Structure 1
Amino acid sequence: MFKRVAPSRFFVHVTLMAYAVLALFPILLVLVNSFKRRDAIFDSPLALPTAETFSLVGYVKVLEQANVLNYFSNSLIVTVVSLFFILLFGAMAAWALSEYRFPGNRWLALFFAFGIMVPIRLGTVSILKIMVAADLVNTLTALILVYIAQGLPLAVMILSEFMAQVPKELKDAARCDGISEYSIFYHVILPLIRPALATVAVFTMVPIWNDLWFPLILAPSDQTATITLGVQQFVGQYSTDWNGVMSSLTLAMVPVIILYALFSRQLIRGITAGAVK
């Protein structure tokens, strides 16, 4: 009745399950404690809420005292606009690097690869000077520009590898039919690399949504603060409102979870296809 499982395969499954538990445990811990009273969070942080410990005071504080809707809208605007231009410019650059041969092609590809190896935070001082000179401090535009620069190298490298695997005969057949290069890119190439686009979107969206470094430096005002920066108002020097922290973190996780639920199939297809290639 039971199939015999090879020891190596069993070890792989156990390892993956252990990693899944390790990754999901902090999320579950935050979610559970967001529905508990402050004293219950410290007395039994691993226990589920009961009739005595259940409380929505954290969500009430977040929705009433904090400008949460403004923080969410700022994060949403920055993330969506950044993702749009990262995917657009990344796909265009990947198409040029993978399809056409021109002087400096290899050097340009190396330049994008260098952008992956060097963290953009090393240039924080220079970026801040540029934003001050351009009068973009405390604007969402500053964050969008930084995140586009941050996400483009990875997007170009991933998408160029997928575009290089598209059969050359398919593109030549489209050219023989008189289809323009733009139409080939938009109507032929982009539909074929949707798993790669979803992979880039998920891998790029999470660091942008969760980032605290650049919003704190480039857009710290209350009007331009993102949701991760808005959570900090519940953390004080001498006391911390843990109900507010847990509730705001739970609300901040919702968009990421929804995005993964919508694009999980495309994400897995993109990862597995890239592993095979």
Structure 2
Amino acid sequence: MKTSRSLRITQYFIAYLLAFISLYPVFLMLISSLKTNIDIFKHPMGLTTKLSFQAYVKLIDQLPYLDYLTNSIFVSVVSVALIIVSGSLASFYIARYSFRWNGALFFFFLLGMMIPIKLGIVPLFLLMKQLAIINTQWSLIFVYTAIGIPLSVLILTGFFRTLPKELEEAARIDGCSDLGIFRNVLLPLMRPALGTVMIMNFITVWNDFFFPLIFIQDETRKTIPVGMLTLFGEYSTDWSVLFAGLTLSSLPMLVLFFLASKQFMDGLTAGAVK
């Protein structure tokens, strides 16, 4: 009994320690955004006796940060929506219909995860230029959608195959079409998988730096990761403003995770317990 209690206390201690290690950088980022540059240099890892919101005011005044935020939200939301719609439809077709090239089609989607898309940046740039969408958000949306579909197909196909086919047969007896079965019967049961796909792809799109740097030139069309680059000066950097921008840019991801955390956890643990 005493051994079991000691083991539980040890487990709780390790869990709280890991949680502290994980959350302290976020706390430090928030506190640093409320410091002055002098306080950051004097006490980089500690608290401050005087909180100031001047960094947030300077962030809005010095940069078109609201434009960066709007662009990031638009690109992320539209990209994730296209990934979910396209990936769920393709996964439904692969998982529920048997045909000669079923396995080959599934493997074709998985090839998108095996080949680094950044190796084709030159052809991609030329393609976007020919489509006349270079320096627009749609160039990013199409690339992110192509990047996210393979992983979504991999996750959603496995979930579709775990759902009992008797549900579809009962719906067909009631006169439901294939699209109706997909929309009204299967998708409500797929919320854990859809939550997992949504969060994973949203984080990937939101934090990406490479493709906006290549495809976007206008300052007002940049996303947050590229826009924040202007805060790094050649000889000096305003660290308080930088931390303020990082804090604001992390809020949408935190809100999304808290809203969809239950679905995300259910999606990660689905199939672990029979």
Instruction: Give the TM bin, normalised by the shorter chain.
Output: over 0.9
- Provide closer, same or farther for how the CA distance between residues 10 and 130 of structure 1 changes in structure 2, counting only shifts above 3 A: farther
Tell me, yes or no, if structure 1 residue 68 matches structure 2 residue 65: yes
Match of 1:248 in 2: 245
11-20 or 84-93: which moved more?
11-20
- Aligned residue number for residue 263 of structure 2: 266
| TM-score (norm. length: structure 2) | 0.93
Partner of 1:236: 233
Give the superposition deviation at 1:223.
2.2
* Alignment partner, residue 187 of structure 1: 184
Distance 1:38 1:60 in 2: 14
Which whole-Å CA distance do the structure 1 matches of 2:80 and 2:119 have between them? 22
User: What is the 5 A alignment of 1:123-272?
Assistant: 123-272=120-269
Amino acid corresponding to residue 129 of structure 2 in structure 1:
V
Amino acid at match of 2:22: A
Residue 118 of structure 1 and its aligned partner are, at CA, apart by 2.5
Q: CA deviation at 1:16?
A: 4.8
Secondary structure of the corresponding residue to residue 55 of structure 1: coil
CA distance in 1, matches of 2:263, 2:95: 22
2:136 and 2:221 in contact (8 A); partners too: yes
Give the fraction of aligned pairs with identical amino acids, expressed as a percent: 41
The separation in 2 between residues aligned to 1:5 and 1:91, in whole angstroms, is 46
Shift of 1:18: 4.5
Q: Distance in 1 between matches of 2:19 and 2:184?
A: 38
Aligned pair in 2 of structure 1 residues 186, 6: CA closer, same or farther (>3 Å)?
Answer: farther
* 1:166 partner amino acid: L
Match of 1:50 in 2: 49
1:77 to 64, 74, 79: 74
Aligned mate of 2:113, from 113, 116, 138: 116
Shift of 1:126: 1.8
Please state whether the residue corresponding to 1:175 is helix, strand or coil: helix
**1:119 Cα offset (Å):** 2.6
1:41 aligns with 2:17: no
Q: TM-score by structure 1 length?
A: 0.92
Give the letter for the 2:4 counterpart: R
- Secondary structure of the residue that 2:236 maps to in structure 1? coil
Unpaired stretches in structure 2, ≥5 consecutive residues: none
8 Å contact kept, 2:64–2:220: no
For residue 28 of structure 1, report the CA deviation from its aligned partner. Answer: 1.7
Q: Partners in 1 of 2:101 and 2:234 — Cα distance? A: 53
SS of 1:236's partner is coil
Deviation at 1:117, TM superposition (A): 2.5
**1:25 matches 2:38:** no
Closer/same/farther in 2, CA of residues 274 and 24 from structure 1, 3 Å limit: farther
Please give the secondary structure, in 2, of the residue aligned with 1:220: coil
- Shifted more, 85-94 versus 59-68: the winner is 59-68
Paired AA for residue 4 in structure 1: S
Tell me: CA distance 1:109–1:13, structure 2 relative to 1, closer, same or farther (3 Å): farther
Partners of 2:101 and 2:12 in 1: CA distance: 45
Whole-angstrom distance in 1 between the partners of 2:161 and 2:101: 18
Alpha-carbon offset, residue 136 of structure 1: 1.5
How far has the Cα of 1:127 moved from its partner? 1.1
CA distance in 2, matches of 1:35, 1:2: 46
Q: Which segment drifts farther, 202-211 or 123-132?
A: 123-132
RMSD of aligned C-alpha atoms? Answer: 2.0
